[in-house]
Amino acid sequence: AAAIGDGVTALGSSLTIKILSDRSISAPRFGIYSHRLGNAWLAGGASNSGGKVLAQHFPLARIIELSAAIDPKTTTGLDYYPLSTSGERFPIADPALPPRLTPRPADDANYLKAMFEGIAAIEALGYDRLAELGAPALTSVRSVGGGAANPTWTAIRQR
């Protein structure tokens, strides 16, 4: 990220998002903080959702296998908020927020897809929350971390 409005999403064990901003953004009630970077700021936060939730349900080889069976252009219609345990830091700071991983489809690929969709929704909410608090308009998103290598998940996030 080099220009104001550039975003970075890290899809590792947790979901972390940052946007390059011309101003510091701090909102502890949403788990948002900023780090100075030259004459700009990296504003964002880290969710308790992410790859560690997926890994609790499927080993990496199975995630890769199931991802190949997912149509990323369609939606499951499920409203998941994938967490390992109760509690979230960002974009909702709520130590009691429960995981939402039901109803569970019988098909493992649809279950994984619903988790991908849920984490993508958290990412979108995070960028929306930053915009509400004065972050610049999001112009691009760079993806890093292990999850960034999954083309199915990337397509779901783009949708």
Q: Where are the domains of the chain?
A: 6-158
pLDDT at 85 over 90: yes
Q: Quick one: fold of 6-158?
A: Nucleotidyltransferase; domain 5 (3.30.420)
* The two three-digit tokens of residue 154, written as one number: 């990337």
E strands within the chain? 6-11, 15-21, 33-37, 40-46, 140-144
Distance between CA atoms of residues 27 and 32, nearest Å: 5
What pLDDT was estimated at residue 103? 97
Query: Given strand 40-46, what is the order of strands in its sheet?
Result: 33-37, 40-46, 15-21, 6-11, 140-144
pLDDT tens for 91-119 read: 999 999 999 999 999 999 999 999 999 99
pLDDT at 150 over 90: yes
What pLDDT was estimated at residue 34? 97
Mean pLDDT on 116-131: 98
Mean pLDDT, all residues of the chain:
97
Q: How far is CA 24 from CA 120, 130, 159, in A?
A: 25, 11, 29
Instruction: Read off the pLDDT band of 67 (50, 70, 90).
Output: very high
pLDDT tens for 23-57 read: 999 999 999 999 999 999 999 999 999 999 999 99
What pLDDT was estimated at residue 1? 83
This prediction has a pTM of 0.96
Long-range contacts of 94-97 (CB under 8 A, 24+ apart): none
